[in-house]
């Protein structure tokens, strides 16, 4: 099979993956890194630096909110939560993904002669 088949940039799905993970409730960066790997868009180890860059940018854009959690014995950690604007962006991602899915289904049906 050609190396060109199935290409694309899985990191384009980091933002919706983080928003989806935060939809279930506030979380720390490390927990988010583990959670979004289960969504299937990012293969192998998810680079922490890339995730934290996305989280910082999303915080600046108002899609997530972060606060320092200094409770416990360890160092303070940032805890992230989704904002109302973040929920709107996640909804827009879902609509986009549904359209992509429909186009792919139509393409496959055409190939199979259905």
Tens-place pLDDT, residues 10-35: 678 999 999 999 999 999 999 999 89
- Chain centre to alpha carbon of residue 3: 25
Per domain, the residue ranges of the chain are 10-111
Instruction: Judge whether residue 2 has pLDDT over 50.
Output: no
Quick count: other Cβ atoms within 10 Å of Cβ 111? 8
CATH 1.10.10.10 fits domain 10-111: yes
With cut-offs at 50, 70 and 90, classify the pLDDT of residue 98: very high
Q: What is the mean pLDDT of residues 65-94?
A: 92
As a whole number of angstroms, the distance between CA 69 and CA 51 comes to: 19
Of residues 43 and 113, which shows the higher confidence score?
113
> What tens digit of pLDDT does each residue of 63-75 get?
999 999 888 788 8
Among 63, 57, 98, 97, which residue's Cα sits nearest to residue 82? 63
Parallel, antiparallel, or unpaired: how do β-strands 64-69 and 77-82 relate? antiparallel
As a whole number of angstroms, the distance between CA 59 and CA 40 comes to: 24
pLDDT for position 1: 44
Q: What are the tokens at 22?
A: 């935060």
Q: With beta carbons less than 8 A apart as the criterion, state whether 88 and 65 touch.
A: no
């Amino acid at each position: 099979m050609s190396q060109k088949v199935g290409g694309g940039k899985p990191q384009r799905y980091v933002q919706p993956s983080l928003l989806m993970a935060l939809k279930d409730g506030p979380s720390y960066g490390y927990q988010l890194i583990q959670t979004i790997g289960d969504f299937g868009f990012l293969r192998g180890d998810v680079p922490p630096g890339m995730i934290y860059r996305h989280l910082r940018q999303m915080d600046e854009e108002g899609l997530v909110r972060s606060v320092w959690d200094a409770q416990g014995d360890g160092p303070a950690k940032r805890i992230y939560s989704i904002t109302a604007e973040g929920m709107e962006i996640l909804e827009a991602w879902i609509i986009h993904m549904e359209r992509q899915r429909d186009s792919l289904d139509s393409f496959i049906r055409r190939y199979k002669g259905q």
